[in-house]
Amino acid sequence: MHTRSVELAEWLRERVTAAGARGLVVGLSGGLDSAVVARLCQMAVPEDVLGVMLPCQSDPADEADARLVAEHLGIPTLRIDLTAAYEGLTADLTAATAGLTVQKRSPVPSDEIDQQRRAALANVKPRLRMTCFYFLANSLDYLVAGTGNRCELTIGYFTKHGDGGVDLLPIGGLTKREVRALAVDLQVPQPILDKVPSAGLWLGQTDEEEMGFTYEQLERYLADGPEAVPPALALKIERLVRQNEHKRHMADTPELP
């Protein structure tokens, strides 16, 4: 077993003990990061890890991959289909906001408005999932293990109070390449290793298409600085880092005398 795997599992175990908790809840999305975190949780608390599948208008292939990981690891699972809850809530939200008008200083193209609306609706999914994770964690006296990696955390590629709202981020210091290497060491099933990274926010969505650059390019920037990528890409990454700084910290509070 790779030393890093053992160290991360020990880190998780120490945090669970320090919190006076009993175990860990982890979402099983069918993706690489999720599979790695699930295995680390199992190593940390072998008898007290729960894998949770929460499909929500999801690609059935993702749930099949999540089940593959759970069966491969032999961990207990729980499944709740959030589709009906999501569709009911977003229908109410859409109806309630139909008459709202937003004043802007300059005209906004209709396609940009459509993208903003799609993102707002899509982000309800991870926030619903996190509500479920915390209900289960509170019920079992567990902590919630997140699956964000260093690449995603750096540029804010996660939903605030959604997949970013967790107790622990065991792979938060690892790039996607490093997570993949860890997955190989942990013997994650080959179909998961071969899978195209996707947050699963809508059918056909991929991480790299939504980010506008590849994980390899981002990792080159992180490793060697802005000079290692084209200037326009460096500016884009730096803009994302600035814009999403608020996601990585507790809410700002004023400093009072």
Distance CA 26, CA 54 (A): 11
Is the predicted pLDDT of residue 199 greater than 80, yes or no? no
What pLDDT does residue 112 have?
Answer: 60
**Most confidently modeled range among 36-40, 101-105, 252-256:** 36-40
β-pair type (142-145, 77-79): unpaired
Q: What is the edge-to-edge ordering of all strands in the sheet holding 49-53?
A: 77-79, 49-53, 23-27, 142-145
40 close to 183: Cβ distance less than 8 angstroms: no
**Mean per-residue pLDDT over the chain, rounded:** 92
Residue-wise pLDDT tens digits, 75-102: 999 999 999 999 999 999 999 988 775 5
Distance CA 60, CA 31 (A): 13
Residue-wise pLDDT tens digits, 177-188: 999 999 999 999
Mean pLDDT for 33-60 is: 97
Instruction: Sketch out the chain's domains with CATH numbers.
Output: 3-99+108-206 (3.40.50.620)
Beta bridge partners of 135: none
Report the predicted TM-score, pTM, of the whole model to 2 decimal places. Answer: 0.92
Residue-wise pLDDT tens digits, 209-248: 889 999 999 999 999 999 999 999 999 999 999 999 999 8
Is the predicted pLDDT of residue 34 greater than 60, yes or no? yes
Tokens of 106: 């300059």
What pLDDT does residue 248 have?
Answer: 87
Residue-wise pLDDT tens digits, 101-143: 555 555 555 566 677 888 899 999 999 999 999 999 999 999 9
Closest CA to 115 of 125, 123, 126, 105: 123
153 close to 119: Cβ distance less than 8 angstroms: no
What pLDDT does residue 107 have?
Answer: 56
